Structure 1
Amino acid sequence: MSSPSSKSSPPSAAPASALQQQMVALAGALAPAEGYNLTVLPDVRFLRSNRPLSRAPVLYDPGIVIVLQGRKRGFLGDEVYLYDAQHYLAVSVPVPFSMETDASAAEPLLAIYFRLDFNVAAELMLRLEEHGAPAHEAPRGLMSTPMDARLAQSVLRFLEVMRSPVEAAVLGPGLVREIYFRVLTGEQGGAMRAALTRQGQFGKVARAIRKIHACFDRPLDIGTLAREAGMSAPSFHAHFKAVTATSPMQYLKSTRLHQARLLMVRNSVTAALACTQVGYESPSQFSREFKRMFGRGPAEEAERMRKAFAMPDPLPHAEYVASH
């Protein structure tokens, strides 16, 4: 499903290169606070984490995660996705998975999150097709890919520009576009382009996923989602699981619970109100399923999130629910 994916323990980190040391120093200054640090670019955030995480449930918006220091591992079904200073993570459709991180106060995890601007990605993909670079690879929702030298240089220039609010506002969007280009033409760029153009059965599943994120607070069943995808219910169930490693109803439940957690943390709503706002009819069922997913009850988990991470407002014009 992605490369690399291994169940063995990761090797010890190699000594940081001079370029990597430069990027870490810049990222550390751009992410002074633990949690997400906002930038003048609405789709870009810098992350600092001073503590490890163990198998935390996450749901990313489509985008790119570039880790500059520390290590993250994502677990989806039998696949393990490593993203660290040598590998980045690309997400073409939101897929719930669990994540663990290596981080400490002495050596915090530092990363950049680029929420995908579909207009910029579509324009680049069109230009690539015009220049004879069609996407023949099988589409993928989640990809862990080695960081090559050209992408690393683009990221370094981006970090340097982001030190100045004026340069960030004027030059930053062009460098974000350059980073998109490097990812879309990288080792697994063809698979990402195929996913973003929503080809074949993958595209049908992607339509159903958008429906879930747009209507998670309403009654949805397998028949409704299968019709949205233009498939029979059995075919839809099989293809959905092939893309997301979970069933449509489990995906819907995960989306609702992630959104409930965000409502409690960002809007300070009660668990009872969050329960109704995400489409649950039974508060007791909501509490049971929430604790099963996050390992804590709703109120306890919301309090932990407030203390552990700065939680900025949602990204503007977000098409999907994200919780990471």
Structure 2
Amino acid sequence: MRMKKQQPADRKNTGSRGARPRLTRVAGAAVVVLGLTGVSACGAADTGSSSSKGSSGKVTIAVPSWVGAEANGAVAKYILENELDTKAELKQLDESVAFDALHSGKVDAIMEDWGGAPKKVQLYVEENKSVVEGGDLGVVGHIGWFVPKYLADKHPDITDWKNLNKYKDLFKTAESGNKGQLLEGSPSYTTNDDAIIKNLDLEYKTVYAGSEAAQITQIRENYKAKKPFISYWWTPQWLNADIDLVEVKLPEHKEGCDADPEKVDCAYPETPLQKYFNADFAEKGGDAAKFLKNFKWTAEEQNEVAAMIAGEKMSSEAAAEKWVKANKDVWEKWLP
């Protein structure tokens, strides 16, 4: 979708599609923050061990504040409580803070990590062993720069970064001044965009909408009016089913091209989204831990729930219930 902005020292290159992702989208999207509480309000999560059947105690899941992550948490919570007799709590946490909470035991799991806190992974997973990998979520994320198809149809060469300066006047706004505006979401998103603009000598300025929800509103308004715009955007995203966007081709992502955050001059990589668990929970969490480890769905399935929450304005609980009741053949495979 997010968190405090990562400092350059907290980022590293991950290379190809199969590597651990390193880019984090962390936004305060009002449309998706439903029923979540702050980590400061709780103590250590109860991850008492259990038998292989029945309740595993309370499970606390960290949920970054974008709608895809909310969909993960809502479905996991519904199944934990209704199929595994396990109380579940969702806590909205920035990704970096979520790793601290996983380490301390204040939360048990994060279901969607985009790899924005590699130093925390190094510290807690590889060194302290207090956090363990939970496997793939099953969704591959990708960040890029996108323009509406109606604009690409009118100016076919606009989808090549080498031609963007030629079109900067199309994207000028009061906020961007004499430069083209690159629309961003939340200022807390971790992006490479300022570095890319600088290192490719592009006459553009990043302008932040303020949140995922605000960015979506602005994109929708521009799209309806058929106005030119270029935006930081990502897949999977439920809105992509409603609007037709075309990605601008940035220089090919190659191993090491984004190792130094100040020198990034390439496209974003494809990012297999990962799960992480508190180590004690992974060992002693019984059926709940087994279920969360087995939880793996497609981008289409995630988008279906996300669209109900953000597009249809359903509560996360109602969206999860509707999806679970209609997709027993999918989630039954996740049960221990």
TM-score (norm 1): 0.26
TM-score (norm 2): 0.26
Relative contact order, higher structure (CA 8 A, sep 6+): 2
Whichever structure has more helix as a proportion of its residues is: 1
